[in-house]
Amino acid sequence: MANIRIYFVFLPPMEKIRIILLFGVACFALCLAPFFAAAADCPPVQDHCERTDTLRMIFAGDVMGHGMQITGAWRDGGDTAYCYHPVFRYVKDYISSADVAVANLEVTLAGAPYRGYPEFSSHLSLAVALQDAGFDVLATANNHSLDRRKQGLERTIDVLDSLGIRHTGTFKDSAAWRQDYPLLVERKGFRLAFLNYTYGTNGIAVESPNVINRNDTMRMAADLLKARALQPDVIITFIHWGEEYRNRENAAQQQLARFLARGGSHLIIGAHPHVVQPFAKIPATDRDSAAVIYSLGNFVSNQRDRYRNGGIVLDVTLVKTDSVVRVASCGYEPFWVHRFPENSVSVFRLIAVNDFLRGPSKYIISETNRKLMMQFYEDLRLLLPNLPFSGYYRPEAEAHDE
Ligand SMILES: [Zn+2]
């Protein structure tokens, strides 16, 4: 080090300046090196400015109100003492975890007398319990919309409005239809347009000035145009169709699904057969494909036969990046309707089968019922080979891995 210092002292002045400058440049470069290295690891600048949002939607099938469900919900104390909350006790966490939860309300809330099949009217506490479970939107166009005629259609709308539950499919008059249809739901920066139709109303004619949306392709085409004009991120069509108790969709459903997809519907959600029907992707206009579930099956009912004693909830997550929306995941959850005797009546509790499988201890269920539930579960696995589970009810061990 001393030799270097002596060598420097004896150098000519210009040479000294040159060495000092070189040394300075070298130090500056060394100081900046870490910043350049860090910059090389960073993604391109535009990625920092991208905005990504997600929205999770779930869709449940037929909410029925058979006579035995009404008896099971009755509590001592007269007309105001119906309570449906326990029905959803075990699935409330799941339903309310979604940003938007939708179901098909296949009863009227027409007031007394409360009856099941064939002309349904359930106590309004059914809607209260659905809302408490986490449902935000109910589809009301189905073959039971007119079970209690004009009064039933209108009271159902009044009850849902009074509770603040969004609904679509039936309307008091054409002014309400013009104003509220398609139903636009805005949530977390996403705009969702909902359409809802039914093949018919069990031969009961709609009374003026009420409106019920029918599976009429001329009408649907006009409605899809109106929906697109609202510039939604997705158009969702909830449709009542198909043949009861048939596990496969028919040609008419396939044709109508293609029509809706070509018209701009991204998700087509089927109900009415009371059994689950397949899931498929079909060509669409403005995206790679639209998704259709031909039937979700029963969400809650007193139907106990094979395939009818449960249903699925479709679970769809959308991702929006710089205003481009795509489906990030699409899965399902099997829900089984557990019916068992309690205080001399039958009561109903929904069970998410994947929750039962990861922790059966909280459920008290007979061996016979457990076997029926597992048969339902296995049947679904065969029927929906192209649809994964939602992932919500992962086994505890997997959840802890993260
Ligand atoms: Zn139906």
Task: Kindly list the structural domains of the chain, giving each domain's residue range(s) and its CATH number in brackets, ordered by start.
Answer: 56-383 (3.60.21.10)
Parallel, antiparallel or unpaired: strands 345-352 and 324-342: antiparallel
Output the CA 14–ligand 1 centroid distance in Å: 97
Output the CA 302–ligand 1 centroid distance in Å: 14
Output the CA 25–ligand 1 centroid distance in Å: 80
Nearest-angstrom CA–CA distance, 75 and 139: 28
Output the CA 320–ligand 1 centroid distance in Å: 34
Output the CA 31–ligand 1 centroid distance in Å: 73
* pLDDT tens string 237-252: 999 999 999 999 999 9
Output the CA 299–ligand 1 centroid distance in Å: 12
Residue 396, pLDDT > 90, answer: no
Reading the block at residue 228, the tokens are: 């697109």
Nearest-angstrom CA–CA distance, 223 and 388: 32
CB 105 within 8 A of CB 141: no
CB burial string 54-77: b at 16+ within 10 A, e below: ebbbbbbbbbbbbebbbebbbeee
> Per residue, what are the HEC states of 148-188?
CHHHHHHHHHHHHHHHCCEEECEECCHHHHHHHCCEEEEEC
* pLDDT tens string 349-371: 999 999 999 999 999 999 999 99
Q: What is the pLDDT of residue 355?
A: 97
* pLDDT tens string 105-158: 999 999 999 999 999 999 999 999 999 999 999 999 999 999 999 999 999 999
Output the CA 234–ligand 1 centroid distance in Å: 25
Output the CA 125–ligand 1 centroid distance in Å: 21
* Closest C-alpha among 273, 268, 205 to residue 239: 268
Looking at the DSSP bridge assignments, the partners of residue 277 are 295
Residue 384, pLDDT > 70, answer: yes
Higher pLDDT, 160 or 46: 160
Output the CA 38–ligand 1 centroid distance in Å: 61
Nearest-angstrom CA–CA distance, 238 and 247: 19
Output the CA 253–ligand 1 centroid distance in Å: 14
Q: What is the pLDDT of residue 4?
A: 42
Mean per-residue pLDDT over the chain, rounded: 88
Q: What is the mean pLDDT of residues 38-46?
A: 38
pLDDT range class, residue 35, cuts 50, 70, 90: very low
